[in-house]
Amino acid sequence: MSTAENHLIERLPRGDRLHLLALCRPVQLELAQVLGEPGAPTRYVYFPVDGFISLLTRSGGQSGLEVGLVGREGMLGAQLALGVPMVPVHALVQGAGLAWRIGSRAFRSELERSAALQRDLNRYIYVLMAQLTTSAACLRFHGIGPRLARWLLMSQDRAHADRFRVTHEFLAFMLGVRRVGITQAAGLLQRRGLISYHRGEVTVLDRTGLEAAACSCYGADLRIYAQLLT
């Protein structure tokens, strides 16, 4: 078991935290594993510890677009806190790693038992809503390069490492652009010495420079999370 922990679980009072963890089991999230489909019943809630999950929306048979990212800072299945049992988005594991998993029925019972859990999930749902609206504005107003830099920073934050695996094809899928656009944008970041990319593996070389290259949406996401959940 990793010494790291999920932030939402860490925030709970000790008694509530131990009670929730006693109902959870550790599971290994596998790369490209599907954890939920829109409209399907929510079977499990996941609290990532090392892994992270992309939230995707699809329309008209298109391949999909990433509208959110869940890592150690959050959880998958927050809709249960609203009394909604259906999965709202396509959930795909983007980074393999450990997570705590709990069945939806047991989780709903915990929500009724723990006022602290319900309070923090209400705040986290607000953070997710802000992330969704930021992603929509980012897609409309910002270029591929700044969006790619933002995405790499978000992924690094959740991978908790300077190096993580991702292909140009997967990046194009996540950002809703053509592969050639990703190749050009990633090439520019490499030439500036901000990242290196080799055989599907990205290494962040200059975190400060990458933050400067990213659009303002990255900082906006950090600020709203800090205001509500730190």
How many angstroms separate the CA atoms of 25 and 157, rounded?
24
- Asked if CATH classification 1.10.10.10 holds for the domain at 143-214, the reply, yes or no, is yes
CATH classification (class only), 7-138: mainly beta
Please, what is the Cα angle at 126 between 11 and 163, to 5 degrees? Answer: 65
Domain with CATH 2.60.120.10 in the chain: 7-138
pLDDT for residue 144 is more than 60:
yes
pLDDT tens across 203-230, in order? 999 999 999 999 999 999 999 999 999 8
Give the torsion sign (CA, 110, 72, 221, 41).
Answer: negative
For residue 2 the two structure tokens come to 């990793």
pTM: 0.91
Q: Supply the pLDDT for residue 2.
A: 42
pLDDT tens across 15-27, in order? 999 999 999 999 9
pLDDT for residue 125 is more than 80:
yes
Would you place residue 43 in the very low, low, confident or very high pLDDT band (cuts 50, 70, 90)? very high
Question: For 102-113, what is the mean pLDDT?
Answer: 97
How many angstroms separate the CA atoms of 16 and 112, rounded?
12
**What percent of the chain is predicted at pLDDT more than 70?**
97
